[in-house]
Structure 1
Amino acid sequence: MARHQSRHGRSLVYGRASGSLLASDLELSFWGGIDPQTGEIIDRHHPLSGRHVEDIIFAIPCGRGSCSGSGVILELLLNGKGPKGLIFSSLETILTLGVIVARELFGKSIPVVQLVEEDFRAMLEADYVNIDGGRVVWGDRGQVTDTAPEQPPSQHEEQSSSSQQIELTDTDKSLLSGSRGEASAAAMRIILEMSRLQGARKLLSITQVHIDGCVYTGPGSLAFAEKLLALGGRVVVPTTLNSISVDQKRWRSQGVESAFGAAAERLATVYTDMGARPTFTCAPYLLESAPRKGEQVAWAESNAVVYANSVLGAKTMKYPDFLDIAIALTGRAPNGGLHIAENRTASLCVDARKALELDVAEDLLWPVLGYCIGGFAGNRIPAVLGLEAFSPSKDDLKAFGAAFATVSSAPMFHIVGVTPEARSLEAATGSFRDVKHVELSTNDLSNCFEALNTAAKTDKVDLISLGNPHFSLPELRKLATLCHGKIKHPSKAIIVCCGRSTYGLASQAGVVEDLEEFGVQVIEDTCWCMIGDPVIPRDARVIMTNSAKYAHYGPGLTGRRIRFGGLEECVQVACQGVSDASSG
């Protein structure tokens, strides 16, 4: 390697650290991508799969996927399994927020730096890295002098979350001074820190919040919520809750380990004690409280954010866990990102017309398209051409958006002629002068379809997993219709997840009874990204799903192989035991 190099970047969280470098030029979701208890990279689709982030400098372009990445980095820092420092090439707010919370409430911190892309790529092959505020030095271990991390930063070095940079109302100042208690004051400090990072010059009022931080990632997530509650935290705007880590009504009878179940249930209770509604769904857009076009909201949960922005036309940033409750406690959010109209336009045009020859079940086309386009998009908002003639349903767009959000860090998409802000390509791209154009091929989609299948078509399927994101009432009805008159194979388990509201409507309509007669187990409150043994039978080796999101995360989360197929094929396999339908 050439002699060491030194570059200056942007210090997102000030600190000093030195260590061996673990780096990739591919984004990674910390939730579903890193085990928060061990530090192992468990995303089996990522080139760093199997490596550990403990005690190294970790560099990726940015995060992607889940908003719960902030919870994972908090757990890693609190249990000693985290990296010594983080380096990104894009402004990464989700993971940075987790570090800020660790510093603000628990006194634990690591440096976080953003380098320009050219410098980031030049660093990727280094062995050893030194971080000192915004200065990054890399090279062979013997070429790089270690920092002294115990040395405190000087006043001019440390980047402050000072409110002087942001225009505050009298109410903002009152909250910051503690007029409504220390929980709201701490929440304001976190909001202002994130506003500074995002370049927001003022705050705005929002009408509702959807909280993802109620997912139990470990003791840190519970300690955070309990601290806010103890400090008098109470939500001041209507607030819904995401899926939690257990089915509150059934986890004991399901055999869930008692310490985990009790902690997960306690976390949910803490949030409801702060005034949030116990909706417990990852699909809040299915609720009667879903926002309208143009409404300013603060939603977390990656698929919900993408759906709210793209399909409903509401305005929300991709809010990290912990920032969501901070906004709920104050009703105030950074006035930046997708809250501003000009930031919602597309910089990437994806022509999907030639890709539609893919020979898969009709309901698989949308998640495969979302997964493929999300991979091309990266952190860019895409405008997709060639799909308007298909008149996708709300459930089609749900499947597309969830798959898109799994591999893209962009908080929305446009489908020309379909989504509300894309009546034309010109409307979707707005003022962008240099829009990149990509043409999808059938081969692109076929490769994505194959990547989502880690089990062979002829492998014996043990479990059919449905409802990631949560099934809607029309999806439950469709499943019941497909099951009608058929007999489930006795060795097969089939489980579907949905929210409490949907479950209640399906029960009243007799749909739940019909499903249970076939042998479907219907679970509320939780979702597949949180479900493990023994709800997943311990002897199950192959799981089948119609969710691209779960097909991506499932191998790492469960250690099982995944078969990706359409809903009709899932029912067929539940009856026959193997997949023999054409899958393309």
Structure 2
Amino acid sequence: MAIQQLDEPSTFKGTSYVGGEASGVLMTSDLELSFWGGVSSQTGHVIDKHHPLSGQELKGRVLAIPGGRGSCTGSTVILELLLKDIAPAALVFERRDEILTLGVIVSEELFGIAIPVMTLDPSDFRQLLKLNGRSVHISNGQISTYHPGNGTSKIIHEVDSSEPKCSTPDLNLTELDYAFLENAHGDAARAAMRIVLRLARVMGATELMDVTQVHVDGCGYTGKGALAFAENLRDRGGKVRVPTTLNSISVDKNLQRVQGANEEFTDGATRLADAYTDMGARPTFTCAPYQLDTAPGLGEQIAWAESNAVVYANSVLGARTMKYPDFLDICIGLTGRAPKAGPHVEINRRATVIVEAPRVSIENIDDSFYPLLGYHVGSIAVSQIPAVTGVEHLAPTQDDLKAFGAAFATVSGAPMFHIVGVTPEASTLEAATGGALTMRSVETKITDLIKCWNELNTAAKGQPVDLVSLGNPHFSLSEIQQLAQLCKGRTKDPDVHVMVTCGRTTYASACRSKLTDELEEFGVQFITDTCWCMITEPTIPHTTNATITNSGKYAHYGPGLTGKSFYFGDLARCVDAACGSNYVESRPRWLE
């Protein structure tokens, strides 16, 4: 609550999740921000072209945003910023944010560097937004305005040689949990348990629980910090205790194709992947672990990171996982223990907002409908679990749900969605909401999807295409089959590159089916192990021409990651562009 009125000075008291003191100029936004894909880990600037803070430098600023959104890799980005001394001076949220907080906790635990992280209640946060540009000081959960005199200073809290406090009075720990803390299972497992317990406090958990499997997202190379973290745990004897799969990495180890990164980057990315496999994780290297034969079943308690995978697991498979930050994923893998909170608990899986989809018929739409709808629903349900109605008659496929979920997770911080009559925990609207009688209901129209289409299509009218980007998230075997059918009998424009990213197991299946032979003859290049979120020049041509993709996720992140303009459209439109079509900037008929 505010403990003074908004005169000189103004002071607010909140909840501190990482302590310390800091001063700086307040930078505010009422829109959530994904640090991965939204903030450069090299410069500390906001690179999300769709965000109001785009182009702003975060270094030394007290950043106040409602919370994070999008990728689980935000924790690695904040770690890189801290180690480069280009991080914000402090983070202030309207609601707790596990992903960014975890990155600061890891920095403090392993590297002795941290910044204050705190939350304010909604009314105080809204008052704080009005103070944008003012100089403020934070001290252990209290934020105050002040007159800086000759300038402002940033104070990054550096811990001493003793370990940060790992308080557990509110947690009911088992003998196994205590054994980890007492180093009975090795130094790496002890460090991992400390990190798990500190985030359990942030999440409000009262106990830990066993999980059956883990999917690690932190194996993508974002810089030296991520590598130092993984090698630290590996060198301290870390070994996973539960089956653990790995997300996409930053190089194509399977096909041994260099993605154009410099030698230092390639070496770092390879060492990072090796550190995780050395700890016993499977080299699956896919952002779509739900395509593996180890995909979890309904009600199974798991610990997955990677935003699209989390949303798919919870929503489509009915498994149970939180949206785990990078770094916490491997910590859970090393202990097999996770905070019992969030979507692990039945009551936290219920929808709290109803979204009515536009009335369309299956004959009139194409496969761009699902990422557009997911993108729009995510912008409505930024922190809430939605129940989407009006889709059952369209009978969406698994690939449709993947595309919906990936776009949804790009702009929403929620860990799941329900589609009434489609997803397993939403046989009825009552089942999805837990029988709640009243809640916010939002009706969407085609005009809303037109707005999303315009937002994702950033290329100028008539701008030529030189790259067709497919597989974000990784292409499934059925999508490869569909692509082969669309390319059959057609000729690719020699000036247009067509590239598909997929998991190595999917690629092997496509090879056995001779699909890769057909598509490579057309001119498609397959890339495994990595994905578009990590691919750079020269794989992505450095030209003034545009990229076209059928991924709502990549159409959102791509402009900031690559500096290129983007077209978005369905798979057929992408193939048309590969063959030299020049109408890619026009909207499909179903949107007119």
Matched, 1:131 2:138: yes
The change in CA–CA distance for 1:255 and 1:145 in structure 2 (over 3 A counts) is closer
Letter in 1 for 2:551: S
The change in CA–CA distance for 1:352 and 1:561 in structure 2 (over 3 A counts) is same
The change in CA–CA distance for 1:3 and 1:368 in structure 2 (over 3 A counts) is same
Matched, 1:443 2:438: no
Retained in 1: the 8 A contact 2:254–2:504?
no
Q: Once the two structures are superposed, what CA deviation does each residue of 1:316-375 show, in whole Å capped at 9, x if it has no partner?
A: 000000000000000000011100000000110011144x38998510000000000000
Letter in 2 for 1:350: V
For 1:226, the equivalent position in structure 2 comes to 231
Gaps of 5+ in 1: none
SS of residue matched to 1:467:
strand
Structure 2: distance between partners of 1:254 and 1:401: 27
Per the normalisation by structure 2, the TM-score is 0.94
Structure 1: distance between partners of 2:524 and 2:307: 27
For 2:434, the equivalent position in structure 1 comes to 430
For 2:334, the equivalent position in structure 1 comes to 329
Matches within 5 A, 1:28-43: 28-43=33-48
Matched, 1:568 2:558: no
Structure 1: distance between partners of 2:45 and 2:396: 38
The change in CA–CA distance for 1:553 and 1:150 in structure 2 (over 3 A counts) is closer
For residue 555 of structure 1, the aligned residue among 559, 562, 567 is 559
The change in CA–CA distance for 1:150 and 1:223 in structure 2 (over 3 A counts) is closer
For 2:488, the equivalent position in structure 1 comes to 484
For residue 525 of structure 2, the aligned residue among 506, 521, 525 is 521
For 1:296, the equivalent position in structure 2 comes to 301
Matches within 5 A, 1:309-328: 309-328=314-333
Retained in 1: the 8 A contact 2:362–2:394?
no
Structure 2: distance between partners of 1:457 and 1:383: 36
SS of residue matched to 2:468:
strand
Structure 2: distance between partners of 1:150 and 1:414: 42
Structure 1 residue 540 displacement after superposition: 5.6
Structure 2: distance between partners of 1:435 and 1:191: 34
SS of residue matched to 2:517:
helix
The change in CA–CA distance for 1:254 and 1:306 in structure 2 (over 3 A counts) is closer
SS of residue matched to 1:503:
helix
SS of residue matched to 1:343:
helix
SS of residue matched to 1:87:
strand
SS of residue matched to 1:468:
strand
For 2:24, the equivalent position in structure 1 comes to 19
Retained in 1: the 8 A contact 2:315–2:424?
yes
Retained in 2: the 8 A contact 1:247–1:524?
yes
Structure 1 residue 535 displacement after superposition: 1.0
Letter in 2 for 1:538: H
Matches within 5 A, 1:110-509: 110-126=115-131, 127-138=134-145, 141=148, 160-250=165-255, 253-354=258-359, 356=360, 361-430=365-434, 432=436, 434-509=438-513
Retained in 2: the 8 A contact 1:457–1:578?
no
Structure 2: distance between partners of 1:148 and 1:520: 52
Q: Once the two structures are superposed, what CA deviation does each residue of 1:484-533 show, in whole Å capped at 9, x if it has no partner?
A: 11110010000000001100000000011111000000000001011110
Matched, 1:7 2:12: yes
SS of residue matched to 1:412:
coil
Letter in 2 for 1:406: T
SS of residue matched to 1:260:
helix
Retained in 2: the 8 A contact 1:89–1:115?
yes
Structure 1 residue 3 displacement after superposition: 2.5
More deviation in 452-461 or 5-14? 452-461
More deviation in 172-181 or 212-221? 172-181
For residue 538 of structure 1, the aligned residue among 537, 542, 551 is 542
Structure 2: distance between partners of 1:398 and 1:48: 29
The change in CA–CA distance for 1:503 and 1:146 in structure 2 (over 3 A counts) is closer
Retained in 1: the 8 A contact 2:25–2:152?
no
Letter in 1 for 2:294: S
SS of residue matched to 1:86:
strand
Structure 2: distance between partners of 1:421 and 1:290: 17
Per the normalisation by structure 1, the TM-score is 0.96
Retained in 2: the 8 A contact 1:3–1:143?
no
The change in CA–CA distance for 1:150 and 1:382 in structure 2 (over 3 A counts) is closer
Structure 1 residue 432 displacement after superposition: 4.1
Structure 1 residue 67 displacement after superposition: 0.1
Q: Once the two structures are superposed, what CA deviation does each residue of 1:179-207 show, in whole Å capped at 9, x if it has no partner?
A: 11110000000011111111111110000
Structure 1 residue 250 displacement after superposition: 4.6
SS of residue matched to 1:281:
coil
SS of residue matched to 1:495:
strand
Structure 1 residue 139 displacement after superposition: 6.0
SS of residue matched to 2:209:
strand
Structure 1 residue 148 displacement after superposition: 7.5
Retained in 2: the 8 A contact 1:457–1:563?
no
Q: Once the two structures are superposed, what CA deviation does each residue of 1:258-278 show, in whole Å capped at 9, x if it has no partner?
A: 111111011001100100000
Structure 2: distance between partners of 1:22 and 1:230: 39
Structure 1: distance between partners of 2:376 and 2:157: 45
Retained in 2: the 8 A contact 1:345–1:432?
no
Structure 1: distance between partners of 2:535 and 2:325: 21
Letter in 1 for 2:555: A
Q: Once the two structures are superposed, what CA deviation does each residue of 1:16-46 show, in whole Å capped at 9, x if it has no partner?
A: 1110011100000000000001001000000
Structure 1: distance between partners of 2:164 and 2:274: 36
For 1:58, the equivalent position in structure 2 comes to 63
Structure 1: distance between partners of 2:362 and 2:234: 51
Structure 1 residue 441 displacement after superposition: 1.4
Q: Once the two structures are superposed, what CA deviation does each residue of 1:507-564 show, in whole Å capped at 9, x if it has no partner?
A: 0000111110000000000010111101112236310000000000000000000000
For residue 85 of structure 2, the aligned residue among 65, 80, 83 is 80
Retained in 1: the 8 A contact 2:41–2:78?
yes
More deviation in 570-579 or 235-244? 570-579
Retained in 2: the 8 A contact 1:130–1:146?
no
For residue 108 of structure 2, the aligned residue among 99, 103, 107 is 103
Structure 2: distance between partners of 1:72 and 1:94: 10
Retained in 1: the 8 A contact 2:34–2:69?
yes
SS of residue matched to 1:476:
helix
The change in CA–CA distance for 1:226 and 1:443 in structure 2 (over 3 A counts) is same
The change in CA–CA distance for 1:43 and 1:145 in structure 2 (over 3 A counts) is closer
Structure 1 residue 249 displacement after superposition: 3.9
The change in CA–CA distance for 1:358 and 1:120 in structure 2 (over 3 A counts) is farther
Structure 1 residue 151 displacement after superposition: 10
The change in CA–CA distance for 1:287 and 1:151 in structure 2 (over 3 A counts) is closer
Give aligned-pair identity as a percent: 55
More deviation in 531-540 or 22-31? 531-540
Structure 1 residue 53 displacement after superposition: 0.5
